[in-house]
Amino acid sequence: MNSLDQLRQHTTVVADTGDFEQLAQFQPQDATTNPSLVLKAVQQPRYRTLLEQAVAANPGASATTVTEHLLVAFGVEILKLVPGRVSTEIDPRLSHDTAASIATAKRLIELYAAAGVPRARVLIKLASTWEGIQAARELERQGIHTNLTLLFCLAQAQACADAGVKLISPFVGRIYDWFKKTAGHSWNEAAMAGPNDPGVRSVEEIYRHYKRHGIQTEVMAASFRNSGQIIALAGCDLMTISPALLAELAGASTPVERRLMPHEGQVEAAPPALTEAQFHAALAADAMARDKLTEGIAQFIADTETLEQLIRTHQG
Q: Which residues have a catalytic role annotated?
A: 125
Distance CA 211, CA 262 (A): 7
Amino acid identity of residue 138, one-letter, is E
Distance CA 146, CA 132 (A): 10
Residue 280: which of 155, 139, 183, 106 has the closest Cα? Answer: 155
DSSP-derived secondary structure for 61-96: --HHHHHHHHHHHHHHHHHTT-SS-EEEEPPGGGTT
CB 145 within 8 A of CB 86: no
Distance CA 61, CA 51 (A): 14
Rg from Cα positions in the chain: 19
Distance CA 71, CA 122 (A): 12
**What are phi and psi for residue 241, nearest 5 degrees?**
-130, 140
